[in-house]
Structure 1
């Protein structure tokens, strides 16, 4: 469990660089960091400068925290995230969520690039997370609970906030954006799934599969935040099409979806 004094030290360092108190946090996944470039009067803080932050070596993650204004809201955006598959503990992976909560946010938008398991979906489309499957078998809240950070046994019957999901769907309709709805499965990585594993994952009920998001969402719920999750479907999962998968493809498709993604998130921000 995260140490309160480490959270405070990271928060104090960030507030030494800006006096903006953010109301909404945004975690930007592979190739989706471009949204942070839209933040007005943005203060950019490298992860390496923030006490107890880690950084990702994955392509498409800039390792920067950006704080400023976007569509009339004060926001703090993680331009890239670090992952369990990079060898970080789930405490390390989710530490920024605790810090963003300490900075003042009450809502968190989590994004990712992932593979489509549902064969009705198409690469380049966006998916609104309705729920998730933790397929890794480990939970970021394992260990001694800090009651000041959240309850020992959080309710996760509605991880992804119903009202914010309604808003996102309405915004998508108004802007003629295809926004699928589905269950996201968390896979540890770094290897992609085998065709047999994808068949299993589909049977279990996931519509998309990726290597992030679920740990952050669980900790956000523990912290009392309202969570919205949006995936960029960058490829069909292994075995659906007869072609190999690559992270290069993930980044390329995410880049092609950038304008739609940015437009959707900016209009959601206006409405929440």
Structure 2
């Protein structure tokens, strides 16, 4: 009899506010209703300790329910949610609504979901700093921002984002982007890692076949070895477990270089 229990990585990355975040998280974009409860519950049962949701996903209630019913201590789970820029001027009310839906008194990370127009980013960032100071969000960050926008809000408030969540995969790899975030001590978090043709790319398939792993596991492992946060999502229990089973192998330097090179093609 073989043991098919997933071997989850325990990798974390330090944030610039002194906290730490698990590099492997569970994403919930486009997962709604009962599916969101079941998928999140499966992720927690599997061992994920990082959940990612957002106001616009419309599933914070379901994610919160799954966490509350899981038996896992709240303090053992890193919870992220996001505020859209059309809530500018109502940021704290939006966060309090999220907290109520999530059944918690704080989130571990709160992100501006995408850039707004004009002064919206700076105005929102002031409110985010206020939320952190009030203990409603332990860390604050942004999503879909470029470095110039990050510089703007940092200079305006004196507070740099802890995280920038952007679309990221081997096909989108950019060494300069990664280096810029590290130079500013901002953790890079990738989303949509398993989309955009990555699972069918010949180079990824060759590596996966050689080491006896799935293409998704190769891509997730690539993120971990770059110290980039990754939040794969699925509603299928077997895939949720498989995506977490990435602690029992590593990619060679040659594998990493091959995958990195896909971003320049």
TM exceeds 0.5? no
Larger helix percent: 2
More strand by share: 1
